[in-house]
Amino acid sequence: MPHILQVGLGDRSYPIYIDDGIMATIGADLARRQIAKRFVVIADDLVARLYGSTLLRSLRDAGIAAEILSFPQGEASKNLQVFADLSSRLAQMGIDRKDGLIALGGGVTGDLTGFLAASYLRGVPFIQVPTTLLSQVDSSVGGKTGVDIPEGKNLVGAFYQPKAVYIDTAVLTTLPLQELLGGLAEVIKYGVIRDYDFFVFLERHLDKLLCLDRESIQEMISTCCRIKAEVVAADERESDLRRILNFGHTIGHAVEAASDFTIIHGLAVAIGMVAALRLAVANELCKKQDAGRVAALINAFGLPTEIPTHLDRDRIKKYLLSDKKTVAGSVFYVLPTGIGTVMITNEVSESQVDAVLRGR
Ligand code: GLY
């Protein structure tokens, strides 16, 4: 039986289904729900090769017309040129408002396809089928869509919710280890920001999770999606509560950018979470013992906790100040006040930030 959750957004509410092998039953479910008679699956070339035929078969067997469009794999494709190319191809295929799009892939595919769905013909329905742990626990839920421009990541986009999210945990077996670890950083984030019991679950199930034990993985993903759904339902457009999801991301994004993106997002978030915990301890918001316990779990999952010494600290600071969430030159940090609760503050001194960037 799949885990079924709901993102409660009034008439834009939608379900999240989590199960091993669910890819093969998506067609039947979409046919029953009558979302569209024809779907275009959008995937990068690698994911299209791995899972495209399973998904197309599932759709066609259920009587749904389906085609696939692919684009070159990688963050470099999340741009306005690929967006324009895909838009033209949809128009050439005669896709109309009654048709739908399916994002099959990781965060790049989900963000790009979601933005395409929000904009093409001023909006067509879309479905998320995330295939990386990071996109399964974070980006496929909540309706943030968009592309990068040379001035920065995700600077052009829209809030646009999918009609459903189908999470197939079986696909994690083909995920490179680094990608899995990156996703686990976001998983730990949920425990720290909102759920002490989930944090304890992660401590206790560490070995099983790293071996991709089916039940533990499903429970883990389901809890993350439940927390994300609660937060998004309370604050869809990130004016308040949703900002807590940025725990570890303020310094994390700056580290990611200063490394010229050689440190992948999730690993940078792990480093950023430890840095935020140090800021919380320095401000007497969080007990040293709690901060140590979170850092120990991050480390036990094989994630980094320190900013690599070769990264230029001034460059990291420059990126911190230019973050798109910086307001009037003031950097806001999500700081834990214990395990399971956080607060958002800009009352962090420059000397504390300097000390943390030096790993102290
Ligand atoms: N990934 C953060 C958010 O969806 O708000």
Question: 129 with 205, same domain?
Answer: no
Decide if 60 is catalytic. no
Decide if 265 is catalytic. yes
Which of 152, 174, 196 terminates a domain? The answer is 174
Question: 50 with 157, same domain?
Answer: yes
Secondary structure of residue 220 in the 3-state scheme: helix
Question: Per DSSP, what are the bridge partners of residue 67?
Answer: 40
Measured CA to CA, the distance from residue 202 to residue 155 in angstroms comes to 33
User: Residue 322: what pLDDT?
Assistant: 80
Question: Per DSSP, what are the bridge partners of residue 209?
Answer: none
The residue contributing the CA closest to ligand 1 atom 3 is 245
Which residue of the set 78, 163, 242, 317 is catalytic? Answer: 242
Decide if 3 is catalytic. no
Decide if 242 is catalytic. yes
The per-residue pLDDT for range 196-243, each reduced to its tens digit, is 999 999 999 999 999 999 999 999 999 999 999 999 999 999 999 999
Q: How many domains does the chain have?
A: 2
CATH number, domain of 323, equals: 1.20.1090.10
Question: Which of 133, 134, 138 to probe ligand 1 with, by most ligand atoms within 8 A of CB?
Answer: 138
68 CB-near residues (< 8 Å, 6+ apart): 40, 41, 42, 43, 48, 52, 55, 56
Question: 182 with 106, same domain?
Answer: no
**Ligand 1 atom closest to 231 (CA):** 5
Question: 120 with 229, same domain?
Answer: no
Question: 188 with 316, same domain?
Answer: yes
Measured CA to CA, the distance from residue 223 to residue 200 in angstroms comes to 13
Q: Are 159 and 144 in contact (CB under 8 A)?
A: yes
CATH number, domain of 22, equals: 3.40.50.1970
Which residue of the set 78, 163, 226, 228 is catalytic? Answer: 228
Question: 215 with 343, same domain?
Answer: yes
Question: 115 with 67, same domain?
Answer: yes
Burial class for 176, CB neighbours closer than 10 Å (0-12, 13-18, 19+): exposed
Question: 63 with 205, same domain?
Answer: no
The per-residue pLDDT for range 65-99, each reduced to its tens digit, is 999 999 999 999 999 999 999 999 999 999 999 99
104 C-alpha to ligand 1 centroid (Å): 19
Which ranges constitute the DSSP H helices of the chain? 26-33, 45-47, 53-61, 80-92, 107-119, 133-134, 177-194, 196-204, 206-210, 214-234, 249-258, 265-282, 288-300, 313-321, 350-357
245 C-alpha to ligand 1 centroid (Å): 6
The per-residue pLDDT for range 158-207, each reduced to its tens digit, is 999 999 999 999 999 999 999 999 999 999 999 999 999 999 999 999 99
Q: Which residue ranges have their beta carbon within 6 Å of ligand 1? A: 138, 142, 144, 238, 242, 245
Decide if 246 is catalytic. yes
At residue 360, does pLDDT exceed 80?
A: no
Helix then strand count (H, E) for the chain reads 15, 11
Structure token digits, residue 274? 């430890």
Question: 58 with 28, same domain?
Answer: yes
Which residue of the set 186, 194, 219, 256 is catalytic? Answer: 186
Measured CA to CA, the distance from residue 302 to residue 136 in angstroms comes to 20
Hey, which of 263-277, 320-334, 344-358 has the most confident mean pLDDT?
A: 263-277
Which of 154, 174, 194 terminates a domain? The answer is 174
Decide if 253 is catalytic. yes
154 C-alpha to ligand 1 centroid (Å): 12
Helix, strand, coil percent values for the chain (each to nearest 5): 55, 20, 25
**Ligand 1 atom closest to 144 (CA):** 4
Question: 82 with 58, same domain?
Answer: yes
Which of 148, 174, 200 terminates a domain? The answer is 174
Question: 56 with 80, same domain?
Answer: yes
The per-residue pLDDT for range 101-130, each reduced to its tens digit, is 999 999 999 999 999 999 999 999 999 999
Question: 139 with 207, same domain?
Answer: no
At residue 328, does pLDDT exceed 80?
A: no
Question: Which of 7, 238, 239 to probe ligand 1 with, by most ligand atoms within 8 A of CB?
Answer: 238
Measured CA to CA, the distance from residue 75 to residue 148 in angstroms comes to 9
User: Quick one: pLDDT band at residue 20, thresholds 50, 70, 90?
Assistant: very high
Measured CA to CA, the distance from residue 234 to residue 194 in angstroms comes to 14
What does the buried/exposed string (b/e) look like for 139-170 if buried means 16 or more CB atoms within 10 Å of the residue's CB? Answer: bbbbbbbbbbeeeebbeebeebbbbbbbbbbb
Question: Which domain covers residue 153, as residue numbers?
Answer: 3-174
Measured CA to CA, the distance from residue 183 to residue 192 in angstroms comes to 15
Q: What number of CA atoms fall less than 13 Å from residue 333's CA on the CB side?
A: 28
Q: How far is CA 298 from the centre of its chain?
A: 18
